[in-house]
Structure 1
Amino acid sequence: MDPVLVLLWLKVLLVAGLATYLSLFVLNNLTDPGTNSAAVERMMSMRELRDDPPLGRGVLWRAVTAPAVHRAAFALVVVVQAIGAGVLWLAAALLAMAAFQGYPVAGAIGVANLGLAVLVALCLGFLLTGLWFSYWVKMGPVQQGHTTLLLIGLVSVLTVNI
């Protein structure tokens, strides 16, 4: 089999996998909004730092306790995830069309880069807002998940552009 075609199918698989990942995030956030919206509230209100007095005293002024802001932040995340999933699904379809029908690979990769840019921006947004609210002190596994997803996004950008 042609190595270029094998690499193209790897790109289809990678982009479709990330589209599936973001789609599942959207599905979970729509069908069980309480789980992740509670995490947003915990992070933005800095509740866990407030509940553990020796930690975080100097940054508690950053806490946002308004439930409307928490809901808006959660809604923004879901919208960005949905946009990223949609663009990545389109990119996966275009990459598959390139493999099957000779669709221009450059156009498909351009769409994939756009979808991956949304994913990377989302992950950076998670990490930066998390750092602002010092979530690494009490929500380490959440930060680790965001960091891992950012690394996956960056490696995916490299892979798609080979």
Structure 2
Amino acid sequence: MNQMKYPNPPDDAYGIKTVGSRKKPFALWREVVMAYAAPAIMAGIGGLVTADRGLQIGALTTIGGASALMALMIGLILRSRVGHMRWVTGAPHLVVVGGFAIAGSLYGLCAAWVTSAVLELMMPGHHLAWADRVWTDFPLSGFIASTIVTWRWRLAVTTHLTSKRRRKK
């Protein structure tokens, strides 16, 4: 069989623009949007597959909302003075991510406790179906969102610091 050989077309022929290994800088709004969308979509699919109406509703409310809130809180903390502390930028990557993941889980537990207490004060004796979900959704969302945001922030910081060192030399 005769196969015609075509030369490789240039990258820009398909609209692909390569700029080397340059990564996008850390943008908190992107992290918050993805922290809402990713778990909401995955939990929504799980709710559809299992026909669990509570999971479908929780995907858009407690799961997605808690993830977005945790991502925002951790992102703001990392962009503040905490992110410029020597132990955060100098410690091993996994130690920083693990520490913030535990902090996100604890923040989620506190948020679940406050939410349950406020609901009990506002509507004593009423049982809301989604109120039982917060004890699982908030800490798990806090753990996942904190891990991802801290991981991506730390990559952006180390890339930025490495490029600064290269420019000085």
Q: Shorter-normalised TM-score: what interval?
A: 0.3 to 0.5
Q: What TM-score do the two structures reach when normalised by structure 2?
A: 0.33
Rg larger for? 2
